[in-house]
Amino acid sequence: MGQCVTKCKNPSSTLGSKNGERESGSKSHSKRSAVHKDDHGSACGKSSGDILVNGTKKTDAAVESSQPPTFSGDTKRDCVSSAEESSLQRIGELFRRYKDEREDAILEEGMERFCNDLCVDPTEFKVLVLAWKFQAATMCKFTRKEFFEGCKAINADSIDGICARFPSLLNEAKQEDKFKDLYRFTFQFGLDSEEGQRSLHREIAIALWKLVFTQNKPPILDQWLHFLIENPSGIKGISRDTWNMFLNFTQVIGPDLSNYSEDEAWPSLFDTFVEWEMERRKKEEETKCITSLDTEGLCAEEQT
């Protein structure tokens, strides 16, 4: 970071009964005529007014017309493809707004303008999280591929869209497995890949430790950073192994350091730190006792 960092039923009928008397011819004829009319009406499905020209019943037609239109798979794919293309165009426009004039990447100056538009400081934890989601290889730089893939990963294609994603990204970074990935990314992110660095400069490591632990600061962090600032071991850089093991250290060793053992496979720098910190605490307690005795003596003299 350095300086910067989305369905009628037809009624059935019967003709007389099995044991009924025979009726007169005219009466039977009248009945047959009536039944004939009834059968005709039933076969037509009540009245002709209920049938459309194409033979479809009005009720069926009404149900069909009320159903929403369906789209074929090709149509759906076309809609999705069109939306993706539009989003990629917006990402491209956003990238061109900040890219360097000579190099096809967003460099330090463009990164500062990008952060200003996002209303964040380049050294904020949010920017580190964004760089993690973009899988940026270098501080203060987003290549075209990193920027496009990163925006797609967080489903954002505008400044407002990226800003709206910050809360969920910060929550994601609180998850243990996600934070471990972010933590390990931070070491690589701090290296100067152009110089082929394999370890972090001590000052850069201190700054990155402060930054990466913004949301979940371990109790021992301040003492560890104090140790590195005082630098009694004269170390110049922090190796990847030391960086990765410190996260384990904060999760396993208590703040009083009482369960630390040199016999375990910790980096030698941790042995030095624990020894130095325990000695510092001892001196601090001695100073408090002396101050307390002096105060008590002074009080006794004043009473006499």
Q: How confident is the model at residue 233 (pLDDT cuts 50, 70, 90)?
A: confident
Q: Residue 219: what pLDDT?
A: 95
Between CA 246 and CA 184 the distance in angstroms is 11
**pLDDT surpasses 60 at 13:** no
Of the candidate ranges 7-11, 150-154, 184-188, 223-227, the one whose mean pLDDT is the lowest? 7-11
Q: What does the pLDDT read at residue 286?
A: 87
pLDDT band at 24 (very low <50, low <70, confident <90, very high): very low
Least confident of 16-20, 232-236, 290-294: 16-20
Question: In this predicted structure, what is the pLDDT of residue 195?
Answer: 80
Mean pLDDT rounded to a whole number for the chain: 80
Task: Report how far residue 177's alpha carbon sits from residue 100's, in angstroms, rounded to the nearest whole number.
Answer: 35
> CA-to-CA distance for 157 and 89, rounded, in angstroms?
9
Nearest to 187 by CA among 135, 132, 243: 243
Q: How confident is the model at residue 296 (pLDDT cuts 50, 70, 90)?
A: low
Tens-place pLDDT, residues 78-113: 656 888 899 999 999 999 999 999 999 999 999 999
pLDDT of residue 202: 95
Q: How confident is the model at residue 304 (pLDDT cuts 50, 70, 90)?
A: low
Q: What is the pLDDT of residue 79?
A: 58
Q: How far apart are CA 168 and CA 96, in angstroms?
A: 26
Band of residue 73 on the pLDDT scale cut at 50, 70, 90: low
- Could you give the CA distance from residue 89 to residue 99 in angstroms, rounded to a whole number? 15
d(CA 290, CA 295): 9
pLDDT for 107 equals 97
| 3 state SS for the chain | CCCCCCCCCCCCCCCCCCCCCCCCHHHHHHHHHHHHHHHHHHHCCCCHHHECCCCCEHHHHHHHHHCCCCCCHHHHHHHHHHHHHHHHHHHHHHHHHHCCCCCCEECHHHHHHHHHHHCCCCCCHHHHHHHHHHCCCCCCCEEHHHHHHHHHHCCCCCHHHHHHHHHHHHHHCCCHHHHHHHHHHHHHHHCCHHHCCCEEEHHHHHHHHHHHCCCCCCCCHHHHHHHHHHCCCCCCEEEHHHHHHHHHHHHHCCCCCCCCCCCCCCCHHHHHHHHHHHHHHHHHHHHHHHHHHHHHHHHHHHHC
Residue 279, burial from CB neighbour count under 10 angstroms (0-12, 13-18, 19+): exposed
pLDDT at 149 over 70: yes
Instruction: Give the residue-averaged pLDDT of 43-70.
Output: 46
Nearest to 95 by CA among 155, 132, 147, 130: 147
Look up the pTM and report it: 0.71
